[in-house]
Amino acid sequence: MQIKFVRFLPLALVCASCLTAQTADDTQLKQVIIFGRHSVRAPVAPNAYLNQFSAQQFPDFSVAAGILTPNGEKLETILGGYYRAWLTKEGLLTGNDTADANFVFFHANAIQRTVDTAQHLWSGLLPGAPVNIQYLTPSTANDPLFNPVGAGVAQLDTQKAIDSVMGRIGGNPPALASAYAPEFALARSVLLGYPAGQTPAPAAPANLTDVTDFVANPITVTAGTSPEPLAFGGLSTVGNAIDPFVMEDGDGLPVGWGQMTAGGVSQTSRIYNLVLDLEFRTPYLARVQSSNVASHIVRSMVQSAIGNVLAGSLGTPSTKVVVLIASDINVCGLAGLFHIDWLLPGYQPDFCGPGGALVFELRQSQSTGEHIVRASYIAQTLDQLRNLTPLTLDAPPAIAPVFIPNCSADNATFDCPLGRFVVQAEHAIDPESADLVN
Amino acid sequence: MKIHPLQLLTLGLSCVSFAAAQPVDDTQAKQVIIFGRHAVRTPVLPNNALNAFSAQSYPVFPDVPTGPPPAGIAVITPNGATDETILGSYFHLWLKQEGLLTGNDSADAKFVYFRANDTPLITDTAQAFWTGMLPTAGPPNVNVVSPGSDPLFDPVGAGVALLDYQMAVAAVNGRLGSNPQALATAYAPELALTRSVLLGYPANETPAPLAPANVTDVTDFTANPITATAGSTSVPVNLGGLEQVIYAIDPFVMEYTDGLPMAEVGWGQLNAGSISQIFRLYDLLLNLEYRTPYLARIQSSNVASHIVRSLVQTATGNATPGALATPSTKVIGLIASNTNISGLAGLFSLDWLLPSYQPDVSALSGVLMFELRQSQSTGEYIVRTSYVAQTMDQLRNQTPLTLDAPPASAPVFVPGCSVDNATFDCPLGNFVRVANELIDPHSADLVN
């Protein structure tokens, strides 16, 4: 499929300098697009699989593998409540939930944890309105926004994907073992149950699989299984084994059998971040896998700015709140496509925390009429997750204003003129990997 | 200043699919551009300044000229020069194998262009490399821009590019949630390791001891916060307390690679693995200051433009504005700093990984290399990119390098261009197109 890109010449949206000239923020929020990850879930691999990697049994999350936990549901409703307070203050919501719901568009990936997340976010955002989430069925369906390759909208050249990753690591995936040795050593000590830094590190018990034994299970780069385009051999196994730690922390459980601090969770999450970076932020992969959602986000903002129905948009021209709920792979991919980075307290750079979202605000200057895009990354901190901390405008989640390269101005919120954002999107998006379906 | 992007439509250089279609490599090297970092050096601060940060005195590098500063500060070490000549000797062998050198050094020198940033460290590096590559060609012929800033390596200082410092600060802050201080938590393991080495206690000691009263704890970010403020031409964004950390750790990799006794490498507390971990902090600073898209575009467009135009000049055989040397130049050596190499890599979104190093490290003496090659069957030109550097142990042990025992080498994928063969070949026409999209024409000149 191929799309023609949005053309904005008739609109006065390309003023690059208007923002730097204005000192006070006279912009008004017209639309917000929230692109979020699901909240806290049980590990994606079942405990029966995970337990072969650890001296002690992995804890029971009370729900099946990959399912949103009850705490995850509560956390998402708390987050929705924060967005409600913020969007009411910004004038996008009125407090009349039933009326407001007409201007809200929710779309979630088909799997349980993303649908459930969206439902609970809605419950916090519009508690007085019936939940209305758009998603595909069955849960195995490939949503073109979140898995455009599986849906047939985008075509991934698997060999090129492998090469584009190999060409970032010198064609030598095993070298990652030494580059990330401190993280693998920490993960091993937690999994096998000995103090980090113990020298020499003890041998793994015979009945366990040492996931950091890359001689037995080398780090490689090969074709993956949808929705994961690649597989990384031993690195993927480590990723599975450490995946529960962030969720244990966020769910309020003992973390790493009581051996892990928040710092340890953050440090081991570097391994997870590495996999996401290679698999979804690598330029070729980001371009193929994230162009469709990027195109729809950009077109939705343009649709709202011009007030006319636009092909390839979400909602309608009068939609004020667009919420897309998917996974970290999706949020990372979009960030990679636009070269955007963030850092939130307690997390590693670019980490997509449970419930975290890339937020794009379409705002309009009240003095000049210009439209701008203001991007941020918003997520509950690990402590806010763990403690089910209520969120208010005075006690918000962590918020990182985000600079959009080649677009943002140097004001405090890094505002990006909409016209220029469209130009950047034209450069970044592969038209062959996006459709014009609304 | 403004340049017009190269137009290659008249050249048959834009065939995208040929490289993927050809199973065997029938290409021949026509030109090689080597963009390298200086060799092992002494620290950039004198020991009496560094010693404020450590419980013990920093070691003295052997056989380095001494005297009142700046004597002996940030100069190549004798071992560093030896390592650089070893690397040059490897390139002598490899370039001969590739047919770009003949073995007649004096004759070959006519087709070699070297240019170095104008500091003794870097010109000495270039000379040492030349000495290895063309040992009998006579005195090294290294071009420098002097006095003043070299537009290739410091285009802002030279007035070729204009850096908006406020925009630079915003571009960095906007990667960090406007909260640079949060880096202290994100990099806590590396900062804790740094502190333990500097203050001289075991890495896992709990609780960590207080800093002695006479020592400045560089990891005390309450006293000296990590910030992002306007810098200068040499350091475009000032990162506050993080800068001081970098000064303090910078000597460790030099101690190891210069071959100092292990008892003098981080006072006996560091090995290759922990040096690699600590240097994530240095990589972080380079990433923020030079790979951030706005900064890469302003600071690296001119050298990128000259590299691309030089490749085109050789492919076309016609003198090209903004190219280096002449159409018949076969080897171009550009020697500068890790800041320059990181910036160029950032501009093109290039990454690499070599054994013993962290991802994207611009190692001592390491080079980002662009080969211009021509298919013998189709005549097409391609660019083959790689990153080549001696490993930490090859540097430390002054390991002789041969074609059978080469330095570490990482083939590099050029996004938007490389095809999926083993060497990630990138058709020259596509390389020019990608470069035209990335290079800021206002930050590059057409001076040859």
pLDDT at A11: 45
Q: Which residue of B has its CA nearest to A351?
A: B186
Which of the 8 DSSP states describes residue A343? -
Question: What percent of chain A has pLDDT above 90?
Answer: 93
Residue scoring higher pLDDT (B232 or B28) = B28
pLDDT band of residue A1 (cuts 50, 70, 90) is: very low
Q: Model ipTM? A: 0.95
Distance CA B266, CA B55 (A): 11
Q: A18-153+283-433 has which CATH code?
A: 3.40.50.1240
What distance in Å separates the CA atoms of residue A292 and residue A354, rounded to the nearest whole number? 23
Q: What is the mean pLDDT of chain B?
A: 94
**pLDDT more than 70, % of chain B:** 95
Residues of B in contact with A427 (CB under 8 A): 437
Burial of B327 (0-12, 13-18, 19+ CB in 10 A): middle
Distance CA B119, CA B127 (A): 12
- Cross-strand pairs, B98: none
> Using a CB-CB distance cutoff of 8 angstroms, which residues of chain A are in contact with residue B353?
168-170, 172, 175-176, 179
pLDDT at site A2: 44
pLDDT confidence tier of residue B70, bands split at 50, 70 and 90: confident
Phi, psi at residue B436, to the nearest 5°? -60, -35
DSSP B107-142: HHHTTEEEEE-SSHHHHHHHHHHHHHHSTTS-S--E
Whether residues A172 and B353 touch (CB distance < 8 A) is answered with yes
Element (H, E) at B433: helix B428-438
Q: What is the pLDDT of residues A271-297, one digit of tens each?
A: 999 999 999 999 999 999 999 999 999
Q: Is residue B52 less than 8 Å (CB to CB) from chain A?
A: no
**Which residues does residue B388 pair with via DSSP β-bridges, in sequence order?**
B367, B409
Instruction: Tell whether B314 lies on the interface with A, counting CB pairs under 8 A.
Output: no
Q: According to the model, what pLDDT value does residue B6 have?
A: 64
Q: Does B182 sit within 8 Å of A343, measured CB to CB?
A: yes
Amino acid at position B404, single letter: D
In this complex, which of A164, A263, A410 lies closest to B166 when CB atoms are compared? A410
Per-residue pLDDT band for B14 (boundaries 50, 70, 90) equals very low
Rama region for A9: left / alpha / beta (φ>0; ψ in -120 to 50; rest): alpha
Q: What is the DSSP letter of A134?
A: B
Question: What whole-number distance in Å separates Cα of residue B423 and Cα of residue A167?
Answer: 8
CB pairs under 8 A between A and B: 151
Rounded to whole angstroms, the Cα distance separating B304 from A3 reads 32
B276·A179 Cβ contact <8 A: yes
Q: Which domains does chain B have, with CATH numbers?
A: 18-41+76-159+292-443 (3.40.50.1240), 176-291 (3.40.50.1240)
The closest alpha carbon to A274, from A323, A219, A200, A313, belongs to A219
Q: Model confidence at B5, in pLDDT bands (50, 70, 90)?
A: low
**Integer angstrom CA distances of residue B111 from A36, B12, B104:** 56, 25, 12
Are B336 and B37 in contact by the 8 Å Cβ rule? The answer is yes
Cα distances (angstroms) measured from residue B47 to each of A171, B53, B80, B121, B195? 40, 10, 19, 18, 18
**H or E, element range at A377:** strand A371-379
Measured distance CA(B433)–CA(B14) in Å, rounded: 9
Q: A158-280 — its CATH code?
A: 3.40.50.1240
Contact B170 A411 (CB under 8 A): yes
Instruction: Using the predicted structure, report yes or no on whether residue A21 has a pLDDT greater than 70.
Output: no
Which residue in B has a C-alpha nearest to residue A430's C-alpha?
Answer: B416
User: CB atoms < 10 A from the CB of B301, how many?
Assistant: 26
Cα A245 to the chain's mean position, in Å?
18
Is the predicted pLDDT of residue A127 greater than 90, yes or no? Answer: yes
Nearest residue to A360 via CA among A329, A387, A318, A331: A331
How far is B340 from B153, CA to CA, in rounded Å?
Answer: 6
Which residues in chain A are closer than 8 Å to B277, comparing Cβ atoms? 181-182
pLDDT, tens digit (0-9, with 9 covering 90-100), for A199-232: 999 999 999 999 999 999 999 999 998 889 999 9
Residue A43 predicted with pLDDT over 80: yes
Cα(B106)–Cα(A38) distance, rounded to whole angstroms? 66
Which one-letter DSSP state was computed for residue B5? Answer: P
**So where are chain A's domains?**
18-153+283-433, 158-280
Q: φ, ψ for residue A6 (rounded to 5)? A: -65, 135
Determine if the peptide bond prior to A317 is cis (ω within 30°). no
Return the residue of A nearest to B202 by Cα.
A197
pLDDT at B13 over 50: no
Main-chain phi, psi angles of A361, to 5 degrees: -100, 130
Q: Do domains A18-153+283-433 and A158-280 have the same CATH topology?
A: yes
Note whether B173 contacts A: Cβ–Cβ < 8 A: yes
Alpha helix locations (H) across B59-218? 78-97, 105-109, 120-133, 165-173, 183-186, 188-199
The whole-model pTM stands at 0.95
Cα angle, residue B123 at apex, residues B361 and B117 outer, rounded to 5°: 65
Q: Which residue of A has its CA nearest to B182?
A: A345
Interface contact B410-A172, CB threshold 8 A: yes
Question: In chain B, which among 125-164 make CB contacts under 8 A with chain A?
Answer: 164
Nearest neighbour of B349 by CB, restricted to A172, A283, A377: A283
Judge contact between B222 and B78, C-beta under 8 A.
no
Nearest residue of A to residue B413, measured between CA atoms: A167
Q: Distance (Å) from the C-alpha of residue B276 to the closest C-alpha of chain A?
A: 8
What 3-state class would DSSP assign to A378? strand
